[in-house]
Structure 1
Amino acid sequence: MAHERIEVDLPLAKVYEHLSDPSYFPHFFERIDNVTKINSQTFEFSAKIGGVDYQWTTNVIDDLRNTRFAWITINGNLNQTGTIRFTPLDNGERTRVDFSLDCRTFFGEPEEELAKYIQGLPAQLKKDLQRFKEEVESKTFKQKAEETIAAAEENEEEEDEVTV
C-alpha cells in the first residue's frame, strides 16, 4: 500500500474536481494508460506492466464532495483500491491531499513484473502527485480551467434562452 500527502496551491473545490474524476488520472499517473468512464460510478482502467495488459473495473464507493473520494475494483486482473482525502488550508485557498493506493492480485503471488510494479507504488505515487501539483498549479492549466468554466456558463445561458 502507498500513502502520500501533498499540498496544492489551489482551492479545495478545484483540486477535488480533478481528483474525483478517475478519467483524468492518466494525465498524471505515469503507469496508467487509460481510464474510461462507464457511468457516474464505474470506470475501466488499463495499464501495460512488464509487457502484460492489465485491465480492471472500479466502482466509486465513497464520494463525499470536497472531503473524500474512494474506489474499489469489482472486476479484472488487477485489484486496486484507492482513497483520496481533501483538507482545506489557508481559509480554503490551498488544499492538502492525502492519497492512499493499494494494488494486488486477486489470487496468489504476483508475477515478477507486477511485484516490481506494486513494490514501486509508494515512490511512483509521490512522483505522480508532484506531477499533478505542477500541472494544476501551472498558469496554462488555470487559464484553460477558466476558459472551460466560461464556455460552460455561456452554454448554460444559451440553453436558458427560449425561442418561439
Structure 2
Amino acid sequence: MSTKVEKTVVVDVPLSTVYNQWTQFEDFPHFMNGVKSVTQLGDDRLEWVAELGGVRRQWEAKIVEQVPDSRVSWAATEGATNAGTVMFHDAGNGRTEVHLVLEYEPEGLVEKIGDKLNVVENQAEGDLERFKKFIEAEGYATGAWRGSVNEGAPVGTPGVEHAAASRGDDGKAGVSGKAVAAGVAAAGVAAAGVAAAAA
C-alpha cells in the first residue's frame, strides 16, 4: 500500500533561480535531512543514498519529465519504491511556489511504523522549508541545468506504479538494531496510547 504526500512552500526568490537550484541534485544533502548523497549518473538518472530513523536506503531514479521553470518528475528504477513531481510556479513579486507530490511504498516494520507516524510527510515539509532558507540565504543558484527530458510528453505526476521496477528492494535497505528497537518502542508507545484512549 502506498502513501502520498503533498507539500507546498513559497520562496522569496525568482522562479528561474529557484528552478536552477533544484536541478543541482548533488546539493540536496545541504537542505534535505537524511539524504547522505545524490549522484548524477546522467541527464536523466540519479543515485540516492538516504538514512531516516536508522534505516539506510539506496535507490536509483529516472527523471521521466523535466521542463525548465516548470517541473521535474521522477520514478525509482531500483531500491526504495517512490515517484513524484516537483512543480514550480511564479507567485508574483519575485516569489516562487514550489509544490511537491511524492508517493512511496514503506517496506518493513520500521518504515511502516514511521509511515503511521507521518515521518516522511514531516520530513518532506521540513526539507522544503530548509530549501527555502537555503536559496533565500544564497540569493542565487549554485548552478543550473536548463535541458529538458521528455518535454511535452503526457507524463502527469508519476506514482508508485511508475516505479514498479523498484518493488521488492532486493536488500538495499539496511536496518540497524537501534532503529528496530526505536521502531518497536514507538509501536509500544502508540499501542499504549490507543489502549489508554480506549480505556
TM range (shorter): 0.7 to 0.9
Question: What fraction of aligned residue pairs are identical, expressed as a percent?
Answer: 28
- TM superposition shift of 1:20: 2.8
Q: Deviations over 1:97-141 (max 9, x none)?
A: 111122215xxxx21222244431111111111111111111xx2
The answer as to 2:89 corresponding to 1:87 is yes
* Residue in structure 2 matched with residue 111 of structure 1 by the alignment: 108
State how 1:1-164 maps to structure 2 within 5 Å. 1-76=4-79, 78-90=80-92, 93-105=94-106, 110-118=107-115, 119-138=118-137, 141-142=138-139, 145=140
Q: TM-score, normalization: structure 2?
A: 0.63
User: Residue 112 of structure 1 aligns to which amino acid in structure 2?
Assistant: L
Coordinate RMSD, CA, aligned: 2.0
Q: How many residues align?
A: 138
Q: Give the whole-Å Cα distance in 1 for the aligned partners of 2:82 and 2:62.
A: 10
Q: Give the whole-Å Cα distance in 1 for the aligned partners of 2:55 and 2:121.
A: 21
Which structure 2 segments of 5+ residues have no match? 144-199
Q: Give the whole-Å Cα distance in 1 for the aligned partners of 2:21 and 2:120.
A: 21
Residues 130 and 111 of structure 1: is their aligned pair in 2 closer, same or farther, counting only changes over 3 Å? same
Q: Give the whole-Å Cα distance in 2 for the aligned partners of 1:61 and 1:129.
A: 21
User: Residue 90 of structure 1 aligns to which amino acid in structure 2?
Assistant: G
Higher relative contact order (CA 8 A, sep 6+): 2
Instruction: Judge which range, 47-56 or 11-20, deviates more.
Output: 47-56
Q: Deviations over 1:62-99 (max 9, x none)?
A: 101101111100112x11212011110215x1100111
